[in-house]
Amino acid sequence: MLEKIKSLSREYFTDTVKIRHHIHQNPELSFEEKKTAAFIAAELRAIGLTPQEGIAGTGVTALVEGKNPGSRVIALRADIDALPITEQNETPYRSQNPGVMHACGHDVHTSSLLATARILNTLRDQMEGSIKLIFQPGEEKAPGGASMMIREGVLQNPPVQRIIGQHVAPNIPVGKIGFREGMYMASTDEIYMRVHGKGGHGAAPHMTIDPVVVASNIIVSLQQIISRNRNPAYPSVLTFGKMIAEGATNIIPNDVYIEGTFRCMNEEWRAEGLERMKKMAEGIADAMGARCEFCIVKGYPFLQNHPELTRRIRRHATAYVGEENIVDLDLWLAGEDFAFYSQVTDASFYRLGTRNEARGIISGVHTPTFDIDEAALEVGPGVMAYMAVEEAGEMVNG
């Protein structure tokens, strides 16, 4: 089976690259992926599958049924949305939609999963169980397409026992694959504060309630929640990246506006930390004669890779690419809505190397020059197909 999957991945490689180019040239923003979804559905029908469309608006799924199709179901997920970034690459397949770009590799995830679907469908009579393909919208925008698809039953009918996701890694050389068991990616909550004071002349601060000083105290003090109240076993970050005080050298403004992000890897601490921040910010403002509006926009939960599942798919990947091409991943406090799946079923999210320094392919995700070494599109589909086939077989036999 291993050599057959490798052979099919090589055979379909040219078509996979063409599909990636089409998707890359026609990016669509989160929850607006109507043409992308229609293209995916057409590709699935072309290989003999029956897609279900319109899940969470623009999501698409399909089922590849092997022998004993009801015995177990493995889900494979790709995200399909793009980012509001103007592409700066000068390639024949650069974005044709001004201000929109596949700068996070979702075009790679989607084209790779379509090729995986083709491999699996070719081998359906030789594999156990069923493989559910999930093409998910809106990963880049809260509340996250994963949460919406879960609510609409994407992990049911038939019920999914395990789910696997793949993401490009521009920091890992092409041909290599990265894994991490347990905690991997962070929850992502947004914090918005408006500190109301009383403005006035900069030369008469005693006649004002200076919101700049109040806001500064709040920002510095909130960091102590991370350093003094957090269990050190739980990685956590609090960052404020935006502060607007519409004053001048000699003008104290009435208000200060602040935006930040809180990220962590424990749901209990997440709730406790946010509660402490709100109480502290409001208390400091009150003690200094001001008022603080503290708003929390809840984001994605933290991503937990199921240890045993991750261990197994790592073993499958090792058989596919060799031990020398397997790397250990560090904790990463970025967010990913695949985390919603990891909260409700056994899940594992791994990284596909796409870097090629010799060719200058080194830009990170979410940048206008992001691109990949497309040799990854021969590795990615095959390794995911092999993982799925092996997992379905282990579930039936073990």
- Residues contacting 8, CB < 8 A, separation 6+: 118, 119, 122, 123, 382, 385
Which residues form the domain of 171? 2-185+301-397
Looking at the fold, whether 176 and 207 belong to one and the same domain comes out as: no
Looking at the fold, whether 227 and 282 belong to one and the same domain comes out as: yes
Looking at the fold, whether 343 and 272 belong to one and the same domain comes out as: no
Instruction: Give the whole-angstrom CA distance, residue 204 versus residue 279.
Output: 30
Query: Kind and range of the H or E element at 370?
Result: none
Alpha-carbon dihedral sign for residues 339, 343, 344, 349:
positive
Looking at the fold, whether 86 and 143 belong to one and the same domain comes out as: yes
Looking at the fold, whether 309 and 251 belong to one and the same domain comes out as: no
- How many domains is the chain built from? 2
Instruction: Give the whole-angstrom CA distance, residue 183 versus residue 306.
Output: 9
- CA distance readout (Å), 363 to 13, 219, 320: 23, 32, 27
Looking at the fold, whether 306 and 264 belong to one and the same domain comes out as: no
Query: CATH no. for residue 172?
Result: 3.40.630.10
Looking at the fold, whether 109 and 126 belong to one and the same domain comes out as: yes
Are residues 152 and 55 in contact, defined by beta-carbon separation less than 8 angstroms? yes
Looking at the fold, whether 161 and 72 belong to one and the same domain comes out as: yes
Amino acid at 354: T
Output DSSP code: residue 225.
Answer: I
Residue 28: active-site member: no
Residue 3: active-site member: no
Looking at the fold, whether 181 and 208 belong to one and the same domain comes out as: no
Burial classification of residue 21, based on how many CB atoms lie within 10 Å of its CB (0-12 exposed, 13-18 middle, 19 or more buried): middle
Q: What is the residue-level pLDDT of the chain in tens, covering all 398 positions?
A: 999 999 999 999 999 999 999 999 999 999 999 999 999 999 999 999 999 999 999 999 999 999 988 889 999 999 999 999 999 999 999 999 999 999 999 999 999 999 999 999 999 999 999 999 999 999 999 999 999 999 999 999 899 999 999 999 999 999 999 999 999 999 999 999 999 999 999 999 999 999 999 999 999 999 999 999 999 999 999 999 999 999 999 999 999 999 999 999 999 999 999 999 999 999 999 999 999 999 999 999 999 999 999 999 999 999 999 999 999 999 999 999 999 999 999 999 999 999 999 999 999 999 999 999 999 999 999 999 999 999 988 644 44
Query: CATH no. for residue 276?
Result: 3.30.70.360
Instruction: Give the whole-angstrom CA distance, residue 231 versus residue 223.
Output: 14
ω into 158 cis (within 30 of 0): yes
Looking at the fold, whether 109 and 124 belong to one and the same domain comes out as: yes
Instruction: Give the whole-angstrom CA distance, residue 238 versus residue 258.
Output: 13
**Residue where one domain finishes, among candidates 297, 320, 350:** 297
Are residues 313 and 348 in contact, defined by beta-carbon separation less than 8 angstroms? yes
**Residue where one domain finishes, among candidates 297, 329, 348:** 297
Catalytic residue among 81, 210, 337, 374: 81
Catalytic residue among 28, 79, 128, 139: 139
Looking at the fold, whether 84 and 232 belong to one and the same domain comes out as: no
**pTM of the predicted protein model:** 0.92
**Residue where one domain finishes, among candidates 265, 282, 297:** 297
Alpha-carbon dihedral sign for residues 120, 121, 123, 124:
positive
Looking at the fold, whether 218 and 357 belong to one and the same domain comes out as: no
